[in-house]
């Protein structure tokens, strides 16, 4: 039996992102949540491994660390076909950076899922785009990891992973237990997430509640405080203000061209990739 753990983050729904322009921060308490798109691809990969008869018996556990409302994405994961959903939630976990998130997920896997064979994560979440949690979780568990996978295949007790790096296709093999993060979609994508079937939602809720674990149940230290323990401190979050201004040049053509070259020559040169000063105008005529 291969036990696959899929790490799922609930992210704010992009289309309904309430932004507080005064503080420049996201109003998370009113934001509708959704399953992080790249985590959903990771779940899709797990579901395809499970559906493949060659994989043998596979069990999928979806786990998320987040506020109580993150339960919803775990029900969604169950509706899609995960066997189990586990929510790690506790006020002491609030404010966790990627390092502490990985440590908390790692504690869950080490203490409660010793039979884990494969851990799948999205490469990076849509709301913070750090791409750190997956690799940090592998470090925490001291297991190998491959990032930005495009294709997975179980092979000889391990896993074969394809990934694109620049213009190359890399094919790698890794022993299990191991961790793989899933790249974003490409054109010939085999992991486009399936739609949730309505009967799946009904079944997910009929099957009983999501398993919820707090810090104590997880085995975290009583004094643990994720915000204090996080090495990353966010100093400020704001929307960058960009000003776009047009400038109208007037007067004789020669004067306008000279002004253009004097004031913007360097910018134009770098955009064109050649030095305008050495350009011979006669060639163009």
Partner 1 sequence: MDFNPCMKHQLIRKTVKEFAENEIRHRAAEMDQGPGFPQDLLEKMKPLHYFGLQTPTHLGGAGLDTISYAIVVEEISRVSAALGLCITVHNSVGIYPILRFGTREQQRQFVPPMAAGESIGAFCLTEANAGSDAGGVETVARKTDHGFVLNGTKIFVTNGGICGTILVFAVSDTDPSQSSVFIVENHTPGFSVGEIEDLCGMRANPVASLFFEDCAIPADHCLGKVGQGLKIGLTALDTGRIGIAAQALGIAQAAFEESVAYAKSRQQFKQPISRFQTIQNYLADMAVQIDASRLLLYRAAALKDKGRPFSAEAAMAKLHCSTTARMVTNLAVQIHGGYGYSKEYDVERYFRDAKVTEIYEGTSEIQRMVIARDILTRPV
Binding residues for partner 1, rule: CB under 8 A, are 34, 71-72, 75-76, 79, 195-199, 201-203, 205
Query: Which of residues 35 and 96 has its CB atom nearest to partner 1 in the complex?
Result: 35
Closest approach, Cβ 207 to partner 1, in A, equals: 12
Cis peptide before 177 (omega within 30 of 0): yes
Distance CA 151, CA 61 (A): 20
* Cα within 13 Å of Cα(30), Cβ side: 8
**Residue nearer to partner 1 on the CB measure, 54 or 206:** 206
Residue 167, token pair as written in the block: 């213009």
Phi, psi of 10 (to 5 degrees): -90, 130
Provide CB contacts within 8 A for 45, sequence distance 6+.
120, 149, 152, 180, 182, 191
Strand partners for 149 = 182
Instruction: Please count the residues of the chain.
Output: 285
Smallest gap, in angstroms, from Cβ of residue 176 to partner 1? 32
Token digits of residue 56: 């043998």
Q: Is residue 93 within 8 Å of residue 153, measured between CB atoms?
A: no
Of 14 and 257, nearer to partner 1 (C-beta) is 14
76/90 with CB nearer partner 1: 76
Considering the complex, state which of residue 196 and residue 268 has its C-beta at the smaller distance from partner 1: 196
Q: How far is the CB of 178 from partner 1 (least distance, A)?
A: 32
* Minimum CB distance to partner 1 smaller for 212 or for 260: 212
Instruction: Enter the DSSP assignment of 204.
Output: H
Beta partners for residue 122, in sequence order: 182
CB of 222 to partner 1, least distance (A): 31
Q: What is the nearest approach in angstroms of partner 1 to the Cβ of residue 198?
A: 4
Query: What's the min distance (Å) between Cβ of 202 and partner 1?
Result: 5
């Amino acid at each position: 039996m291969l036990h696959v753990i899929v790490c799922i983050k609930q992210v704010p729904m992009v289309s309904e992102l309430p932004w507080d322009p005064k503080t420049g921060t996201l109003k998370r308490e009113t934001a509708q949540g959704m399953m992080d798109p790249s985590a959903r691809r990771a779940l899709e990969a797990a579901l395809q491994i499970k559906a493949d008869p060659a994989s043998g018996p596979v069990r999928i556990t979806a786990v998320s660390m987040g506020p109580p409302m993150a339960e919803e994405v775990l029900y969604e994961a169950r509706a899609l076909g995960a066997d189990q959903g586990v929510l790690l939630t506790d006020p002491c976990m609030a404010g966790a950076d990627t390092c502490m998130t990985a440590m908390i997920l790692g504690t869950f896997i080490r203490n409660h899922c010793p039979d884990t064979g494969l851990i799948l994560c999205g490469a990076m979440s849509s709301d913070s785009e750090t791409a750190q949690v997956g690799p940090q979780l592998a470090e925490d568990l001291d297991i190998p990891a491959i990032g930005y996978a495009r294709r997975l295949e179980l092979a000889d007790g391990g896993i074969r992973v394809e990934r694109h790096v620049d213009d190359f296709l890399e094919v790698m093999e890794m022993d299990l237990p191991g961790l793989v993060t899933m790249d974003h979609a490409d054109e010939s994508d085999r992991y486009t997430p399936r739609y949730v079937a309505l009967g799946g939602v009904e079944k997910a809720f009929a099957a009983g509640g999501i398993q919820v674990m707090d810090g104590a149940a997880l085995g975290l230290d009583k004094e643990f405080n994720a915000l204090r323990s996080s090495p990353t401190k966010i100093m400020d979050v704001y929307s960058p203000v960009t000003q776009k201004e047009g400038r109208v040049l007037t007067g004789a053509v020669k004067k306008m061209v000279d002004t253009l070259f004097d004031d913007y020559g360097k910018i134009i040169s770098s955009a064109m990739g050649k030095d305008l000063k050495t350009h011979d105008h006669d060639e163009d005529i």
